[in-house]
Amino acid sequence: MARSVTPRRKALNTAAAWSVGLLIFFPILWTILTSFKTEAQAIADPPLFLGFDWTLENYATVMERSNYGRFLWNSIVIAGGSTLLGILIAVPAAWSMAFVPSKRTKDILLWMLSTKMLPAVGVLYPIYLLSIQFGVLDSKIALVVILMLINLPIIVWMLYTYFKEIPGEILEAARMDGASLKEEVLYVLTPMAIPGIASTILLNVILAWNEAFWTLNLTAAKAAPLTAFIASYSSPEGLFYAKLSAASTMAIAPILILGWFSQKQLVSGLTFGAVK
């Protein structure tokens, strides 16, 4: 794979790629840098890149003033809860489709995918109304269920793709050696499925964490997660760049780190296996 090139060529490639990479990353870098400045330094002319007094003041202010902890907790519950619930429902489904396929398996998979294409705005009012009627508007439980449902097709698909790669012969071999069904599932299948399940969880936590249609439209004071917390900075607090940056950095840092770990699964997960 690795083609041999002249060191000169390699140096040029490196320079070009790093420049583009840093340019693309710059808005994030700038946000992180600004979060450590004072408000005056944040709007200094000319802009300050590194020569400023680093301060943690903004983080302290944001946490204190805006109840950041509650938004964070809401985000964790909503992203984590919807993912786990989704996994619980999707594992048996994907399992049976991968190991006991029938003629209709393909149709069911495609149909599940098609529910993902439903534009959210098309069903905004019904969901809004149902949330009111069930008394769950602005509650975490409503968002856990809704985000679980919108991500369920992706979860089933990803798990199906992973399970499909587990060779069926291994199961037969285990059975020949006298393994019971319980032993088969516990000692043979589960260890082989765990990496696939883990990356599915990872990708779905990211998707749920960043979801910004339902979280913005169905929450107010109580259940609002970080997406809504940041949206509340849209004016006029947003003009306090240092605080906006601190709040933003706190909102994206956990997912940025998770995301970097999951970049390999991202491709097959988000293209439903169409690109591997």
Partner 1 sequence: MATQHSRSAARFMMAPAVVLLLGWMLVPLTMTLYFSFKKYLPLRGGDLGWVGFDNYVRFVTSSAFWPSVMTTLIIVGGVLLITVVFGVLLAILLNQPMWGQGIVRILVIAPFFVMPTVSALVWKNMFMDPNYGLLAYLWEFFGAQPVEWLSQASLTSIIMIVSWQWLPFATLILLTAIQSLDSEQLEAAEMDSAPAFKRFIYIVLPHLSRAVTVVILIQTIFLLSIFAEIFVTTGGAFGTRTLTYLIFQRVLESQNVGLGSAGGVYAIILANIVAIFLMRIVGKNLDA
| Residues 231-270 close enough to bind partner 1 by CB under 8 A | 231, 233-234, 238-239, 241, 244-245, 248, 251-252, 255-256, 258-260, 263, 266-267, 270
**Residue 1 touching partner 1 (CB under 8 A):** yes
Task: Using CB under 8 A, pick the residue from 228, 246, 265, 269 that binds partner 1.
Answer: 228
Cβ nearer to partner 1, comparing 176 with 274: 274
Nearest partner of 91 among 211, 201, 202, judged by Cα: 201
> In the structure encoding, which two tokens stand for residue 124, read together?
């905004």
Cβ pair 162, 200 in contact under 8 A: yes
Near partner 1 in 65-104, by CB under 8 A:
89-90, 92-93, 95-97, 99-102
Phi and psi based region of residue 167 (left: phi greater than 0; alpha: psi -120 to 50; beta: remaining): beta
Residue 106 contacts partner 1 per CB under 8 A: yes
Closer Cβ to partner 1, 140 or 160, answer by number: 160
Q: Which two tokens stand for residue 259?
A: 């995301």
173 binds partner 1 per the rule CB under 8 A:
no
d(CA 63, CA 15): 40
Residue 22 found at the interface with partner 1 (CB under 8 A):
yes
Task: Determine, following the binding rule CB under 8 A, whether residue 149 of this chain makes contact with partner 1.
Answer: yes
Sign of CA dihedral 131, 82, 69, 203: negative
Judged by beta carbon, residue 65 or residue 106, the one nearer partner 1 is: 106
Nearest to 243 by CA among 6, 68, 27: 68
Strand spans (E) along 19-119: none
Other CB atoms within 10 Å distance of the CB of residue 225: 29
Q: Is 227 in the site for partner 1 (CB under 8 A)?
A: yes
Rule CB under 8 A: say whether 120 interacts with partner 1: yes
Task: Output the smallest distance, CB 268 to partner 1, in A.
Answer: 8
45 binds partner 1 (CB under 8 A): yes
